[in-house]
A and B are shown apart, each in its own frame.
Chain A
Amino acid sequence: AQTVTQSQPEMSVQEAETVTLSCTYDTSESDYYLFWYKQPPSRQMILVIRQEAYKQQNATENRFSVNFQKAAKSFSLKISDSQLGDAAMYFCAYRPTSGTYKYIFGTGTRLKVLA
Chain B
Amino acid sequence: SAVISQKPSRDICQRGTSLTIQCQVDSQVTMMFWYRQQPGQSLTLIATANQGSEATYESGFVIDKFPISRPNLTFSTLTVSNMSPEDSSIYLCSVAPRGGMYSEQYFGPGTRLTVT
CB contact under 8 A between A42 and B42, given known A50-B103, A101-B31, A102-B48? no
Please state if A47 and B42 are interface contacts (CB–CB under 8 Å).
no
Q: Count of A-B contacts with CB under 8 A?
A: 45
Please state if A91 and B43 are interface contacts (CB–CB under 8 Å).
yes
Find the residue from B41, B105, B110 having the highest chain A CB count within 10 A. B105
Q: How far is the CB of B106 from chain A (nearest CB, A)?
A: 7
Query: Closest residue to A43 on the B side, CB-wise?
Result: B110
User: Which residues of chain A are near B31, meaning CB under 8 Å?
Assistant: 101
Please state if B104 and A35 are interface contacts (CB–CB under 8 Å).
yes
Query: Closest residue to A51 on the B side, CB-wise?
Result: B103
Binding site for A on B (CB under 8 A): 1, 31, 41-43, 45, 48, 58, 90, 92, 94, 96, 100, 103-110, 112
6 CB-based A-B contacts, threshold 8 Å: A42-B109, A43-B109, A43-B110, A44-B107, A95-B103, A108-B42
Q: How far is the CB of B99 from chain A (nearest CB, A)?
A: 9
Q: How far is the CB of A44 from chain B (nearest CB, A)?
A: 5
